[in-house]
Structures are given as C-alpha cells and as structure tokens.
Amino acid sequence: MDTQGGAELCFPQLFNTSCKKPTIPLSQVVLFQILMPLISLLTVALNLLVIIAVSHFRQLHTPTNILLLSLAVTDFLVGFLSMPGDILRNTACWFSSQLTCSLYNYLSFFFPSVSVGNMVLISVDRYVAICDPLHYPTRITDRRVKLCVCLCWLCSVFYCYLIVGNNLIQPGVHNSCYGECIIFLDFIAGVVDLALSFIVPVTVIVVLYMRVFVVAVSQARAMRSHVTAVTLQLSVSRTPKKSELKAARTLGVLVLVFLICFCPYYCVSLLGEELLNSVSASIVFYLFDFHSFLNPLIYAMFYPWFRKAVKLIVTLQVLQPGSCEVSML
C-alpha cells in the first residue's frame, strides 16, 4: 500500500501528486457517519411534504405560501445535494471529476443566496401585511410574488456565477493535489459576497421585522385596551387581521432561526476558519445547512394546515379525485 508520511493515499498510483485520505477524528465520527446522513434524509423527506402540500391543495395557494414553497424547494435541494456533498468531502477523497467539484462549490454558494432572497421576500410580505393591511391584497398578489420568486432564483444564478465563475471555467485550478475539492475566492469577491449575501440582506430583514414587531405589539395592546365602540369600529378597517398577526409571529420565528444558523457561518468566513478548532468549525458550517431541516419542523409546530396536509399525504388521500379542494384552513 502506497503511503505518504504514513497516511493512505487517495490515488496510490500518483504517489507525488495524490492527496492523503481524510481521517475522521473520533469526536466527529457520530457527526459525519450517523447524525448528518440522518439529518440529510429527514430534510429531504420533510421539505418534500411541504412542497406537495402547498402545490396540491388549492386553498394553500396564497402569496405567503408561495414564498414558503420556494424556501422549501431550496431546503429540499440542500438536503438532497449540498448535505451529501459536505459529508463526502469531509469523510472521503473526491474521486469524481473536477468539473463536478466546481458545480458542487457553485451550488454551495447558490443555495444560501436563494435562501437569503426568500427570507428578504418573506420579510417584505409580512411588513406589508402588518404595516399596510389595507393595500396588502392589491400590492402582494400571486402573480407579483411568483415573479419575485423567479427573479430571486435567476439573480442568484447570475450572482453566484460572477462570484465563483472562475472555478467553473478552470475546474480544479486551485486544488493542491488529486483527491481534494476546494473553492477559492479572491479578496474582492469575498468582500462583495459578504456585503451582498450577509450585511445588506440581514440589515433589511432585521429592520423590517423590527417595524413589524413594533406595529404588532401596538395593535395587540390596542385590542386589549378599553376603547369606545366607535373607536373600535373605526380601527378595525386599518388594523391587520388576527391571522396576519399569527402568521407574522410564525414567520418571525422562521426568520430568527434562519439568522441564528446563518450569522455564525459568515462570521467564521469573515474571521477565518483557522481561529476555530476542527470540531467547532464543522459545527458552525453545518449549522447553516441545519436550518433547512428546522424549517418544516417550525411549520409543523405553528401551522395546523401543515399537520393536516401531512396526514392526508401520508395516508395517500391526496390521490383521491378532488382532494385538492379539501378545506385546509
């Protein structure tokens, strides 16, 4: 068996240019060999349920649910493509082609970009619903939301190509040996990505939800206050519905979980992974993918329609004629 420095090689026939086979520390065996594969499988299954539910049942075809559908598709692809790729890259040699490596690295930038775009759109949707409820039905329509979702995906395609396009044009140019799959960003691309994928969207999300929170709290206090019947009658027309407030709270939890999983990823990218030990770095980078698993669990906790839809899907009642017209709300 050919070795280099006592370690087994990925390609023994290429003694001088082959990478060493990665070794998994005992502290990460459970993470990479048991926990992450299980989370990847559950992420695919749970988000597939969300996709089927929102797509099948006609009553769920609302602007807000269209945004949730877009987010679920992104999360499904993270579980189906990104998580297995991360597991493979950290536990084994990269035996596939360098072009496949470049495509995987491109998707590693693409999925976060789409997720951020979806979160910004969700924040805008809740902002209009709570802060300007009278104009919500006319401003936030199915057609406009679908257009925004399509633009979000298309812009992410072109944006990620501008950031990591060189890795697609010259696959493997930055790899130091055969059997590894790395991605390289120059300083300018890294700063641009940090600003456009982290600082700007997170600022927009936080500002919008702070405004939503202030308005929601003030409306809740107004509903509990002892006011005259005339005042109540006048205020009903300009206050958001109780269902909208509940949706804002639910989606607020969704956004909060996203930020908790999202911020450490970019903070470590900004400060440098070398500042952390290998275990901490792995946890931080996998935390970002983990939010794709958490999202459908949040739906299950806060949305009765999702729990009802899962029951109908699992029992195969969705295959019956006219099942798409079932009342879900």
Q: What would the DSSP string read from start to end of 76-129?
A: HHIIIIIHHHHHHHHHS---S-HHHHHHHHHHHHHHHHHHHHHHHHHHHHHHHH
Q: What angle do CA 55, 119, 150 make, to 5 degrees?
A: 55
- Amino acid in the structure at residue 148: C
Q: Residue range 278-291: average pLDDT?
A: 69
pLDDT tier at 65 (50, 70, 90 boundaries)?
Answer: very high
Range among 65-74, 85-94, 313-322 with highest mean pLDDT value: 65-74
pLDDT > 80? residue 3:
no
Q: What is the pLDDT of residue 202?
A: 87
- Amino acid in the structure at residue 318: V
Which is more confident, 197 or 230? Answer: 197
Please state, rounded to an integer, the average pLDDT across all residues of the chain.
Answer: 81
What's the rounded Cα separation, in Å, for the pair 251 and 64? 10
User: Rounded to 5 degrees, what are φ and ψ at 103?
Assistant: -65, -40
Contact 113, 164 (CB under 8 A): no
Q: What is the pLDDT of residue 268?
A: 67
Q: What is the pLDDT of residues 142-184, one digit of tens each?
A: 999 999 999 999 999 999 998 888 777 877 777 778 888 877 7
In the numeric block, which tokens belong to residue 79?
């579980």
pLDDT > 90? residue 80:
yes
Buried/exposed 140-166: b ≥16 CB within 10 Å, e otherwise: beeeebeebbeebbeebeebbeebbeb
Going along the chain from its start, the domains and CATH numbers come out as 3-325 (1.20.1070.10)
Q: What is the pLDDT of residue 232?
A: 45
Q: Residue range 304-321: average pLDDT?
A: 91
Closest CA to 4 of 14, 233, 13, 15: 15
Q: What is the pLDDT of residues 13-33, one digit of tens each?
A: 776 777 888 776 666 666 677
Q: What is the pLDDT of residues 115-146, one digit of tens each?
A: 999 989 998 998 998 888 888 999 999 999 99
Q: What is the pLDDT of residues 219-267, one digit of tens each?
A: 666 666 645 444 444 444 445 565 666 666 777 787 888 888 887 777 7
